[in-house]
Every structure is written in C-alpha cells, then in structure tokens.
Structure 1
Amino acid sequence: MILTQAVTYYLSEHPSIVSFRWSHTQSWGSTWSFLFYSIAAYLALSLFLHCALLLVLRRRDRPVPLGPVPAVHSLVMALLSATTFAGILLSSAAEIRDTRWLWRRSRLATSPFQWLLCFPLGTRPSGRVFFWSYMFYLSRFFHMIRTFFTILRRRKLSFAQLFNNSILTFMSFLWLEFSQSFQVLAILCTTLVYSVVYGYRFWTAIGLPSACFPFVVNCQIVLLWCNLACHVGFLLLQLIKGGCNGIGAWGINSVLNGAILLLFLKFYLKMHKKSSSPPASSSSSSPSGEAEGEKKATVKEKSL
C-alpha cells in the first residue's frame, strides 16, 4: 500500500508534475529553432559517420565492436518507456478525476474516453499529462542513438530509419506546441510497445534466445494499427462534437503518419518477398549461422 502510494505520488502527484507548463523560456528543447537544429544535426552526424566509416574501414569486413553499449541502451529505453507509460496512465486517471465536474458543467466531454481522444478547444499544454508528453519528446533524442549503432555495426545508412526518427520527434513536438488531441492514447500505445520491444532487444543482446518469428516487426504492426485507430476515433469525434483541440497539428500528423505507413509497408513487402524466396546454397552461408543472424538483426534494426 505504501509502495503504491509512493509510486502514484512520484508519477502523478509530485508538484513538478502537477505544475508543469510547456514554455519556450522554461522548458529545455521547446523552441522551433532547437527542434530543427537538433534534427539537422542528427541527420548530418549520421551521414558523416556513415561516410567516415566507408573511408576509414572500407577494407574491414567485421562491424565495429560496441560491447555492452547497445544492451545498456535497450535496457534504459525499456525502463524509460515503462516509466512514461505508467506516468501518463496515472496522470490521465488523476486529470479525469479532477476535471470530471468541469465536463458536466460546461459539456466539454461526455466520457473519459472522449477526453483521451478529443481535448476540449482551448486546452493549454500544462499539467500532469503534458509533463509526460514532454518526457516522451525528450526520450526521442535518446532513441536516435540507436541509428549510430546501426551504422557502426553494418556501415549502412537507412533512409527509413532516419525519416522515422526525425518525423516522430517532430510530431511529439507538435503534440506539446499545439496541445494536440489523442496524444495520450498515442503515447500510451507507443511507450507500451517500446517497453516490450526494447526489453526484447536487451534480452537478445545479453545472449538469451530470440523469438522464432519477426517479433519487432509484429510489434510495429500492432503500433501502426493502434495509431490508425486513434486517428479514426479523433476524426469521428471532431465531426460529432464540432471541434477538438489541435486539429491543424492533427492534419500535419496524419500526412506524416501516412508517409511512415507507406515506408513500413514497402519494407514489410520487401521482407516478405525475401522470406518467400528460395534459400541460398549452403556454400554461401557460414556454418555458424552468422548470415542468418545478420538477416534477423537487419530486420530488427530497420523497424521501430
């Protein structure tokens, strides 16, 4: 009981969480210039690292040894995602409890589920929910580090991975800047999937057995379906209620999510085509199964 109360306090009732306010002067990384410069730096550094490895290590077939760093990164990401999931879940429950009376008085919403999908017009980016949305936004920059692991391991620069990380960081900024509706459900779905995926990556990184099916890709499919359902639900409430906060940002979000969906479908069809093709001769693969492990690792790297 005491532990439950302590967790609830530190994840939803702490003064710094309750009094949070998204501000260009008080919140680190909250300006448009920081957003664009950081994404540009991420793209430039990825390209520079890719070109540098091609020039310096062009005669080396083995990947750069990274030791336990990727495993530690996966573990930290799993813990961050799980904490954000628990925090925004408890914070949402607290916000619904504290503002339910206001809904009945002004008829801003009729149920907690509608509030999760459709913020009332005039909602400001402050309070518990937006604190965890801000934490999710900051975690996107730590998530980008995985791109550098991919380059160091295989000296490959994936456009899909660069585009996906850049766009998701940009969208999480829009959620805060324009108090966009349905972000609570989007963050809940994303952090839940990320905690499972990065937990699985940590599991395999320390040498434990992997799944016999493309686990990460299947998690990405689940996440895309959840995201699509959130978009459809928001659009229905927008038409029925006559207005949800952040409709302009939602339009941009929808276009960018559509681009991500197309890239993923292209990758999924390509992966399915490779899996259905006849296997290579035994002389072209190593006896220890390194080629198969490399193929599985490539699938994992290109998703999420």
Structure 2
Amino acid sequence: MGTMTQRLVYWLSEHPAIIKFRWSPIQSWGSTWSFLLTSMAFYLTVSLVLHLILVLFRRRRPVPLGPIPAVYSLSMALISAVIFTGTLFSAAAEIRDTRWFWRRSKTPLQWLLCFPLGTRPSGRAFFWSYAYYLSRFLHMFRTYFTILGHRKLGLLNIFKNLMLLCMSFLWLEFSQSFQLVEIMLATLVYSVVYGYKFWTAIGLPSTCFPFVLSCQILLLGSNLLCHVGVLLLHLRKGGCNGIGAWIFNSVLNAAILLLFVNSFVRKMHLRRRQVEDDDSVLHSCSASKETKVENKIKDKNH
C-alpha cells in the first residue's frame, strides 16, 4: 500500500515534467491571448449554429446520443478526480519545499489563498492549473449535448463556460492567488456531480432532492468565503500576487452568481405556479364531480 501511494505521489507531483513545467507560449499549448479569444469565439459560434440548424429543420425530438453522455460524464468525473488529487499533492509538496522562506509570515492556508508577490507560473502547482485550464475545453462539450438532447441553447451555461475558461487562463497568465483552492473545490465538486450524472445516465435511481443544484450552491458559497479571505490577506499581509486578475475574477464570479440566483428564482417561481395550477385543476375536477352528484340527486327526486 505504501509503495502504491509513493508511486501515485511521484506521478502526480514529483515527475520531472511536472516539476519543470513553465507557462509560456513556447512550452505550453494554448497559452496565447489569440488562442483564447479564437477558442471562445469558436465555441460560441458552434453552439449558435447547432441550435439554428435544429430550429430550421424543426426537429422536435431529441437527437439520440446513445451512451455518449454517460461515457462523457464518467470521463469527466475521473479527469476531475485526477486534477484534484494532483493539485492536492503538488500543493503539499510546494508548501514543504518553500515553507522555510515564508514560515514566519504565513501559514499553509494563507499561502494557498495569497501567493507571495513575484510568484511565477512554473512548477508543480501551475502544472495542475494548466491541466485544469485544458479540462475547461472538455467541459464545453456538455453544451452541445444539451442542445442536441433538449433543443435548448442554454445561454447561462454558455456564458459560464466562457467566463470559467477566461478565468483559468488568467490564473496562469498572472500567477493569480487563490487559484489552487478554487481548483481543488471545483474539481472535487465536478468529480461528484459528473459521477452522479453517470449514475443516473445508466439508469440507476436519482436522489429525492436536487443534488446537482445543491453542489453548485455549495461551490459558490465556498468560493465566496475564500474571496473574502483573499481580500483580508491582501490588505493585512502587504499584498497578494496577481491581485488585478483576482479582482477581474471576482467580478466574473459575481456575474455568474447573479445569473445563477436569477435562474434559480425563476425555476422556483415556475414550479410554484405549476403546483398552484395543478391544485386548481384538482379543485375544479372535484367541484365538477360534486356538481354532477348533486344534479343526479335532484333528477332522482324529481
């Protein structure tokens, strides 16, 4: 068991390719601003074109995708679990190797939330940040499955994917503080959510409460608390690295949170109206039955 754990630690945090990682246009695929903007435009264009094709052909039934969504969910759950584990091991290794330098000024949690000024995007931690950045492209395929399966464009989902891709790029470009915590929180939730989607996609029973929605609320709440922690550390500890990117990150997170809350309130309002309509239908049906019974009794008396 110990040997297996050591091998896992080596392949996820001590491998030379991980230790020697550098975020640069020469060594890292997709590390230029032009690539980012082109990818975002391509994703948005494909989503709109796919939706327009279904509208023009007036296809009312979902496009059969077979086992593709289930395989996709299982793959994303495993990828998210690997990124979470790699980030956790690499963060522990970075703390072990550099703690002597900042031991008197910071705790490990403070280091995770607030990188020292002058931090460069290289080494173990940023390797897994890069892996998370690449995984954001895989997350985008979920939009295509939604359009084909439900014929819904899902503008909120498209906006969220674009913003998360942009944020993950900024984490690397500006060595932004707080990114490791957000990566671990996000990948942990993704591994659970995609595992649940795989569970339901193969026909196994679902929970009696909105599981995915609960995980999303938990993730947003945790991110909000961590953002407050970063701000406090920046003001008290003399500055955190990449604070400009962090401010932009905070604005995007706030926009995503507002859109999520708006969508959640609208869904709850529609559900409440549906329940009220069902109650009114049942009430009218029962009233009509009572009227019929009364009419029959009157006819018999006559």
- Shared topology, TM-score over 0.5? yes
Task: Map Cα deviations across residues 31-71 of structure 1 (whole Å, 9 max, x no partner).
Answer: 00000000000000000000011112x0x421000000011
Match of 1:293 in 2: none
CA distance in structure 2 between the partners assigned to 1:113 and 1:146 by the alignment:
33
- Alpha-carbon distance, 1:276 to partner: 2.2
Shift of 1:110: 1.8
When the two chains are superposed, the root-mean-square deviation of aligned CA atoms in Å is: 1.3
Question: Are residue 62 (structure 1) and residue 61 (structure 2) matched?
Answer: yes
Distance 2:51 2:70 in 1: 22
Show the 5 A alignment for 1:191-202: 191-202=187-198
CA distance in 2, matches of 1:189, 1:182: 11
1:154 matches 2:155: no
The AA in structure 2 aligned to 1:252 is F
Shift of 1:25: 1.4
Quote the residue 2:97 is aligned against. Answer: 98
Q: Alpha-carbon deviation of 1:158?
A: 1.2
**Aligned partners of 2:212, 2:100: CA distance in 1, in Å?**
42
CA deviation after TM superposition for structure 1 residue 278, in Å: 3.9
Aligned length: 278
**Correspondence 1:13-24 to 2 at 5 A:** 13-24=14-25
Give the match's secondary structure for 1:9: helix
How do 1:41-190 and structure 2 match up within 5 A?
A: 41-56=42-57, 58=58, 60-104=59-103, 109-190=105-186
1:234 aligns with 2:230: yes
Q: Secondary structure of 1:28's partner?
A: coil
**Identical amino acids, percent of aligned pairs:** 65
Work out which of the residue numbers 222, 242, 245 in structure 1 matches 2:218: 222
What is the alpha-carbon distance in structure 1 between the residues aligned to residue 56 and residue 177 of structure 2? Answer: 47
How far apart are the structure 1 equivalents of 2:209 and 2:269? 15
Secondary structure, counterpart of 1:277 in structure 2 = helix
1:259 maps to amino acid = A
2:36 corresponding residue in structure 1: 35
Gapped regions of structure 2 (runs ≥ 5): 282-302
Are 1:271 and 2:267 counterparts? yes
Match of 1:299 in 2: none
For 1:238-280, what per-residue CA distance to the aligned partner results, in whole angstroms no more than 9, with x for missing partners? Answer: 0001110001001111111110000000011112112222435
Give, in angstroms, the shift of residue 29 of structure 1.
0.4
Structure 1 runs (4+) deviating above 3 angstroms are 278-282
- In structure 2, distance between residues paired with 1:278 and 1:124: 54
Cα distance in 1 between the residues matched to 2:62 and 2:106: 56
Q: Report which of the two structures shows the higher radius of gyration computed on alpha carbons.
A: 2
Distance 1:259 1:181 in 2: 20
| SS of alignment partner, residue 44 of structure 2 | helix
Partners of 1:84 and 1:28 lie apart in 2 by 18
* TM-score, normalisation: structure 1: 0.89
Residue 298 of structure 1 corresponds to: none
Q: Which amino acid aligns with 2:16?
A: P
Cα distance per residue 1:61-110 (max 9 Å; x no partner): 21000000011110010000000000000000000001111114xx5x42
**TM-score of the pair, normalised by structure 2:** 0.90
* Distance in 1 between residues matched to 2:271 and 2:127, nearest whole Å: 43
Task: Give 2:186's aligned amino acid.
Answer: T
What stretches of structure 1 of length at least 5 have no aligned partner? 285-304
CA distance in 2, matches of 1:240, 1:152: 50
1:281 Cα shift? 5.2
Matched AA of 1:197: V
Which string of whole-angstrom CA distances, capped at 9 and with x for unpartnered residues, describes residues 280-300 of structure 1?
Answer: 559x9xxxxxxxxxxxxxxxx
Paired residue type of 2:130: Y
Q: Secondary structure at the match of 2:115?
A: coil
